[in-house]
Chain A
Amino acid sequence: MPGEAPLLSVRGLRGGYRKRTVLQGVDFDVARGEIFGLLGPNGSGKSTTFLALTGLLRPDALDLRLDGVLIEAGGREMRRRMGVVFQTPSVDPNLSPREHLALTARLHSVPTDKARARIEALLTFADLADRADDKVKTLSGGMRRRLELARALVHSPSILVLDEPTVGLDHASFERTWTRLTELREREGLTMVMTTHRPEEAARCDRLAILDGGRIVATDTPARLQAAVSGDVITLTARDPSELAAWLKAHLDLDARVTPDAVVIVCERGHALIPRIVEALPAGRLETVNLQRPSLAEVFSHLTGRAFFSAENPA
């Protein structure tokens, strides 16, 4: 949103743990009403950024502004105005969803009558109305994740900070979570900052910063970041991807990248290359062929020269 001051501005964020500095100076702005993503593989510093923003880790340096006003990261003012969704559980198995929402309303000093209406609305929003009084330990994983989201919204925060909000969710739950997040943004004008290691999730954000080694290597809209990588991506699946990659090099002089279950080729005019590969390969060697525009995982590789997915950061 050009011209308008950002809701959240992060400058010079440095920090880490006692023996290890992770963040080497991270800068980004989040506009009002925007869903801003922090994409990076494990160890890139996105979780450390989350901890510093929420005040759970004291940064070595950080100039943080909310609405243009300098505030303490994770200080009282920040804690009043921010809602936080954790990646690890932050619910008590022995309490019910309604109790969680009521205790959180209390923690944020939401007036009782206002809290009552808000809690009912959020139980409906999270599809938990009929399980509102059951103990959390009897709820499914998906229900617990929805409770975590509802709980972060009790005090009507102006900014929601989420750490890997869809980690471990199947495709359907992933879609439903995103429907809820976009609905929230439309209805409440909520601004969101989320960390993610899923390129397909980052692609849903309005804008994102790509993190690598504790630094931001690029910040832009997903479409513009993807446009910077030219060509197409061909993904071939086969029983033995490394053998297939070797065969492609030997017979067609193609440079292919091997992932745990596929072979990836980045090239110009992919639609012309595919028939050549399929015709040259002996029958039965290929399982599937897929042609697509570069994903954000390819953007990451393009920017850093390293594969996004690895043994430490599986797809």
Chain B
Amino acid sequence: MTSALRDDLATITVLARRDLLRFFRQPSRLVGALMQPVVFWLLIGGGFASTFQYAVAPGLGYMQYFYPGIVVMMVLFASIFGTITVIEDRHAGFLQSVLVSPGSRAAVVLGKSLGVSSVGLTQAALFLALAPLAGFTYADIDWATLTAFLVLGAVGLAAFGFALAWITDSSQAYHAVMSIVLLPAWILSGAMFPPGEPGSALASLLHYNPMSYIVSGVRGALQGDARTLAPLAGSVAADLTWVGLFAAASVALATWTVYKRR
């Protein structure tokens, strides 16, 4: 192993490990992170259940429709809260010391993205234990596909959040982008409601939104191979390719940003 590769692997391990250590050491964060999706699912899901009951595929309740959307929301929120701290961490925190250690900038991006996505995936895994309550049986779930979509989606969203934190360099600006871009992208991804008739503005927008591919993949995998609920009609392989490309592009964007604007 070359010394450069050794340094990069060390940087990735240290940053990922640190995010997990921090997460498990803050009990309040742990409880909040687990309760919030349950509350969202029950309150929003329960509230919209009557409104949406005819819009969703017949025979399926809104609570079941909304459940995969919540899983993706957890990964998205973990990415947002895990990377907004980069702004402070880079000027007055631990990250400063990582930036002057021998690992490359790409390793910093990968390590942080893996740490943040591990936190999001841990939360999602715990929430997935409730899948039977939403009408998905463990035996029918395509776990391999589900994991692939969640891992790639989480890394992509975390790296995107990292780039955003580095570019904006202010939590106010980050919050603005979060409310104007990230949350609407989740709402319009098919996570909360079906996209409507093919050809409609919302339905066409779906194809340009990386989050709809994640939601489609997760929803399809939870159903096993039925995929009647997936907002996008494409094949699993095609969806997974798009999510993979999104993850690669986000990591590349974040790395380029860190190199360019240090």
Contact = CB atoms under 8 A, between A and B. Distances in A.
Interface of A: 54-58, 74, 76, 79-80, 82, 84, 86, 88-92, 94-95, 99, 103-104, 106-109, 135, 151
A91 B3 CA distance: 26
Contacts of A55: 99-100, 262
- Mostly helix, strand, loop or mixed at chain B's interface? helix
Residue among B25, B100, B262 having the largest count of chain A Cβ atoms under 10 Å: B100
Nearest to B9: A109
A94 B22 CA distance: 6
A57 B10 contact: no
Interface string B4-31: 1011001101100110011001100000
A262 to B, nearest CB: 33
A91 B17 CA distance: 15
Contacts of A86: 96-97
30 contacts: A56-B99, A58-B262, A76-B4, A79-B100, A79-B102, A80-B102, A84-B97, A84-B100, A86-B97, A88-B91, A88-B92, A90-B92, A91-B94, A91-B97, A92-B93, A92-B94, A94-B22, A95-B22, A99-B21, A103-B14, A103-B17, A104-B101, A107-B7, A107-B11, A107-B97, A107-B98, A108-B102, A109-B7, A109-B102, A135-B25
Contacts of B26: 94
Contacts of B11: 107
A35 to B, nearest CB: 20
B14 A90 contact: no
Given A76-B4, A88-B91, A107-B11, A95 B21 contact: yes
B120 interface: no
B14 A107 contact: yes
A76 B98 CA distance: 12
A22 to B, nearest CB: 16
Contacts of B94: 90-92, 95
A135 B262 CA distance: 30
**Lowest 6 CB-CB distances: which A-B pairs, in order?**
A90-B96, A107-B101, A88-B92, A92-B94, A84-B100, A90-B97
A216 to B, nearest CB: 24
Nearest to A107: B101
A88 B96 contact: yes
A158 to B, nearest CB: 14
Given A92-B18, A108-B10, 4 more contacts: A84-B100, A91-B94, A91-B97, A107-B97
Interface of B: 3-4, 6-7, 10-11, 13-14, 17-18, 21-22, 25-26, 91-104, 262
Contacts of A90: 92-97
Residue among B6, B7, B17, B102 having the largest count of chain A Cβ atoms under 10 Å: B102
Given A88-B91, A106-B14, A107-B11, A54 B100 contact: yes
A80 B10 CA distance: 13
A107 B102 contact: yes
Contact of B10 (A74, A76, A95, A109): A109
Given A76-B104, A80-B102, A151-B97, A109 B262 contact: no
Contacts of A76: 4, 7, 102, 104
A108 to B, nearest CB: 6
Nearest to A75: B102
Given A94-B21, A109-B6, A89 B92 contact: yes
Contacts of A135: 25
Contacts of B3: 109
Nearest to A89: B92
Given A88-B92, A88-B96, A104-B101, A56 B262 contact: yes
A58 B95 CA distance: 18
A309 B260 CA distance: 36
A89 B88 CA distance: 10
A227 B13 CA distance: 53
Nearest to B97: A90
A106 B99 contact: no
B1 to A, nearest CB: 10
